[in-house]
Amino acid sequence: MTERYAISSGSTFEEEIGYARAVVDGDRVHVSGTTGFDYTTMTISDDVVEQAEQCLRNIEAALTEAGCSFADVVRVRYLLPDRADFEPCWPALRRRFGEVRPAATMLVCGLSDPRMKIEIEVDARRPTSAAG
């Protein structure tokens, strides 16, 4: 039987909306769309690059709990309300994904809170030692 379990970040949004920060399903890890909120303080920066960095820290925490790292990411999706905000984030994104080169998509769309300037979602594959 395939191992399946949820990972929580402690975000109040997870409880209020009814989702998990990540779901581990066998060797697959699906990290929900993750915003730039610092979940320990429930604050968010006004700066898109700082938000991107916080998104990545939040994602890294979920990946670590799942037994993964950014090196295991196979798919990333970037969601931004303003396409002009994407390019300033490239250096931060390249630091995490430049060597990994996951499949990627960037979408321009509305986000659930007007303070949010970027949301990042990833899928990863757990290393054999972590998955089994």
**Could you report the per-residue pLDDT of 9-64, keeping only the tens digit for each?**
877 778 888 899 999 999 999 999 999 999 888 899 999 999 999 999 999 999 99
Q: Is 7 helix (H, G, I), strand (E, B) or coil?
A: strand
The pTM assigned to this predicted structure is 0.92
Q: Is the pLDDT of residue 126 over 70?
A: yes
**Gyration radius from the chain CA atoms:** 14
Q: Which architecture does CATH list for 4-131?
A: 2-Layer Sandwich (3.30)
**CA atoms lying within 13 Å on the CB side of residue 58:** 31
Q: Is the pLDDT of residue 5 over 60?
A: yes
Q: Give the integer Cα–Cα distance in Å for 82 and 91.
A: 18
Q: Find the mean pLDDT for residues 108-120.
A: 97
Residue 36 CA to its chain's centroid (Å): 9
| Cα 23 to Cα 63: distance, rounded to the nearest angstrom | 10
